Structure 1
Amino acid sequence: MADIDQREAARLVDRIIEEVAAWPHVNTEEHRFEGREFTLGPREVGHVHRWGIVDVPFIERLREALVEEGKTGEHHVVPESGWTTHYVEDEDDVDQCVWLFRLSYLYHVDTLKKTPAGAERFEEIDVAEELEELGASDEVRAAFERRRDES
C-alpha cells in the first residue's frame, strides 16, 4: 500500500461507507481498529478501516477467482481464509471496493433468498441481473451457480 495522507484515506473510505450503507437492508456498526462493518441480517458483508483497508469475506472458490483476476488480494492477516483485502489509495479503489462489497452483498442476498423470509425480504433484488451489470466474469458467476446447485 502506498503512503497516502490519512485525511485522504478517510475521505475515500467515507465515500465507500456512504454508498454501501445506502443499500437495502444493510446495517452499519462499529468494527474494531477504527472500522465500520456492514451486515445483512446476521451476515457480515465486509468492513472498512479508516486508514484505507477494506476486508471482504467470500466463499473460498469465489475468493480464489477474484484474487486470480486481480480484483482483490488475499487477506492481509489471514491469507489462507475466504477473506480478502483491498487497499484504498485513490478514486479507482473506491469503485473497486464498492464492487467487491456489492458482490459480497449479492452473494448473501442470493443465499438468504432461499429462505421464506429472505425470499420476501429480498424479492426486489435480481441477483443474476446485478451480476450482469457488475460485469462479473464467468468464473465468478460459476461460483454463484455452484453454490445454488449445492443448496
Structure 2
Amino acid sequence: MGELDKRQAARLVDRVIEVVAAWPHVNTNEHRFEGREFTLGPREVGHVHRWGIVDVPFTDGLRDRLIEEDRTGEHHVVPESGWTTHYVEDEDDVAEAIWLLRLSYLYHVKTLKRTPAGAEMFEDVDVEEELDELGVSDEVRAAFERRGREES
C-alpha cells in the first residue's frame, strides 16, 4: 500500500472511530498494531487498524450468516474464530464497517439489558427497532436472537 493509500485508509478509519465513539457508553482505547478498540464495559464491540482493517467479534452462528450474506469476511489472522474482518477502502466500506460495529454493539446492549444496571443504562436503546433500521435479514436476526436465548 502506498503512502497516499495509507493516508486515505487512515482518514476513512477516523470516520468510523468518530461515529462509533459517540455511541452511548462506548469507550475507546488503544489497540495493538496501530489500532483503536471500542468497548462496553469489559465487552469488546470491535476494533479498527489505521491501515483500513475493521475486526468485529460475533457468535459463530452470527458470523457465519454475515459471511454467507457477504456482509463481512473471516478474520484475516484467525479465520476459525467468531471474529470477522472488513476492509475499509472507500465510502461504502465505511458505512458497512459502522453497520457491522452497530450490530455487535446491539448484541452486547441486548445482553447487558438483562441486568438491572444495564437495563437502566441502555433504557433508551431499542434493540429491536434498531435491528429493523439496520435492515438485517431474517437469518441474521435469527442468529442474533438464538445466541441471546442461550445466554439467558
**In the aligned structure 2, how far is the partner of 1:87 from the partner of 1:144?**
23
- Helix, strand or coil for the counterpart of 1:111? helix
| Cα displacement (A) at 1:123 | 0.6
Note if contact 2:62-2:143 (Cα within 8 Å) is conserved in structure 1: yes
The letter for the 1-side match of 2:53 is I
Secondary structure (helix, strand or coil) at the match of 2:79 reads: coil
C-alpha distance in 1 between matches for 2:71 and 2:43: 22
For residue 29 of structure 1, give the secondary structure of its aligned residue in structure 2.
strand
Deviation at 1:143, TM superposition (A): 1.4
Aligned to 2:102: 102
Instruction: Give the partner amino acid of 1:121.
Output: M
* Number of residue pairs matched by the alignment: 150
User: How does 1:83-122 map onto structure 2 within 5 Å?
Assistant: 83-122=83-122
Corresponding residue of 1:20: 20
- Give the corresponding residue for 2:75: 75
CA RMSD, 1 decimal: 1.2
Q: TM-score, normalised by structure 1?
A: 0.96
| Unaligned stretches of 5+ residues in structure 2 | none
After TM superposition, give the deviation of residue 140 of structure 1 in Å: 1.1
Distance 1:61 1:149 in 2: 13
Residue 34 of structure 2 is aligned to residue 34 of structure 1: yes
**Equivalent-residue separation in structure 2 for 1:31 and 1:129 (angstroms):** 31
Shift of 1:79: 0.2
Between the aligned residues of both structures, percent identity stands at 79
- Letter of the 2:20 counterpart: V
Question: Where in structure 1 are there 5+ consecutive unaligned residues?
Answer: none
